[in-house]
Amino acid sequence: MLMLVACKKDGAIVTTTGGTAGALTVSASTLVLSKNNLTDTTKVINFSFTQPSFGFSSAITNTLQIDAPGDNWASPKSVNLPVRVLKTGYSTADFNLLLLKLNLPTGVASSIMVRVMSTVSAGMNPIYTNVATINATPFALTSFLYVPGAYQGWNPATADSLLSATSNGIYTGIINFTAGNLEFKINPAKNWNDSYGYDANGNVKENASNGSNFKSPAAGLYWVTLNLNTSTITYVAVTKYYSLIGDATVNGWSGDTDMKYNNGTTSWTVVAPLTASGAFKVRLNHDWGTSYGYLANPDGMTLTSANGGNIKVAADGNYMVTFQPIFDATGNTTATANYSVVKQ
């Protein structure tokens, strides 16, 4: 019988219904994180557990899993622990980052679940500790990546950025790729010390500064999304963009002065020379179908697309024009927008 078992063909799945789960304990059931402690390395929460038993001697892999209750462990954030290490702890920065990856709201308490999953092989069912519940309050943490590329001369110091409003590993932003200048990299800082690019297998990877460049599908404005959780990059053509037009601008009423989207906000800006002898409007997609101008009674901060008046400046000079569409509850732009015109 022993020989028959030993000669069983490869690929047979071994399972077990036995084993004793470990017991998890948590140092705090309520945790309010503060951005003031972002650089403090003190552990604000600690997890410890007893070693589980599968009924036989084997190397056990333990994984700390954290999830929101509504997810029902469908996609927990998992942290592999070193072999025979039965405890771990997190500083404010590290635990806040884990909470943000769960897409929890910031500034308010949310319930999270924590457990430890233990396995000995891919063919055997894992066993789990008890589930601990924590009321945790994360804080917002905006982070940036930078996009040097051919469209701007491969200069990290002046590159556009991608933004993650909650540092959840998903970075987005609008980049204006010019004709023939579609390749780029994505850098954690405004230098060439490190980059994201394609590795030899075509996968998105950090420290790929010598690998292949990313490449936009075509010239024009694109929403670029780098998802570090899935190691993917995607592109969506921008369908709404804004520009100045009028005889106060260098292009007159026959040409547009394009505005630039400020990643991380909903505003568009441009610094352009304007003359007091003329006027201008802000229009959508280089088309007169939607254009914004003064209210009937100008208030200095609101424009309207409902037959608005031409916008004037008091004196010749370079001006920063900021245009911020106002959105309704469904995410569509309304007939009004905020604006400012500031001489530089």
Residue 165: inside a domain: yes
Is 238 in contact with 216 (CB distance < 8 Å)? no
Nearest-angstrom CA–CA distance, 220 and 226: 18
Q: Are residues 219 and 294 in the same domain?
A: no
Q: Are residues 285 and 211 in the same domain?
A: no
Nearest-angstrom CA–CA distance, 198 and 204: 5
Containing 93, the helix (H) or strand (E) segment is: helix 92-101
Residue 3: inside a domain: no
| The domain boundary residue, chosen from 169, 203, 237 | 237
Q: List, run by run, the mean pLDDT of 10-residue segments along the chain (344 residues).
A: 38 52 94 89 95 77 90 89 90 91 90 92 83 94 92 95 86 94 95 89 74 91 93 93 97 95 86 96 96 94 94 95 90 91 94
Instruction: Provide the terminal-to-terminal Cα distance of the chain, rounded to the nearest Å.
Output: 89
What DSSP letter does each residue of 185-208 carry, written as one string? -BBSSSSSS--EEE-TTS-EEES-
Strand duo 132-137 + 30-32: pairing: parallel
Q: Are residues 272 and 175 in the same domain?
A: no
Assign 35 to helix, strand or coil: helix
pLDDT value at residue 11: 40
| The domain boundary residue, chosen from 237, 267, 287 | 237
* Amino acid (one-letter) located at 307: N
Residue 330: inside a domain: yes
pLDDT value at residue 3: 39
pLDDT value at residue 215: 95
Q: Which of 152, 62, 75 is nearest to 115 (CA)?
A: 62
3-state helix, strand, coil in the chain (%, to 5): 10, 45, 45
Q: Are residues 32 and 120 in the same domain?
A: yes
pLDDT value at residue 2: 37
To the question of pTM greater than 0.85 for the whole model, the response is no
The number of folded domains in the chain is 3
Residue 304: inside a domain: yes
> Which structural domain, as residue segments, surrounds residue 256?
242-343
Q: Are residues 328 and 295 in the same domain?
A: yes
pLDDT value at residue 123: 72
Residue 1: inside a domain: no
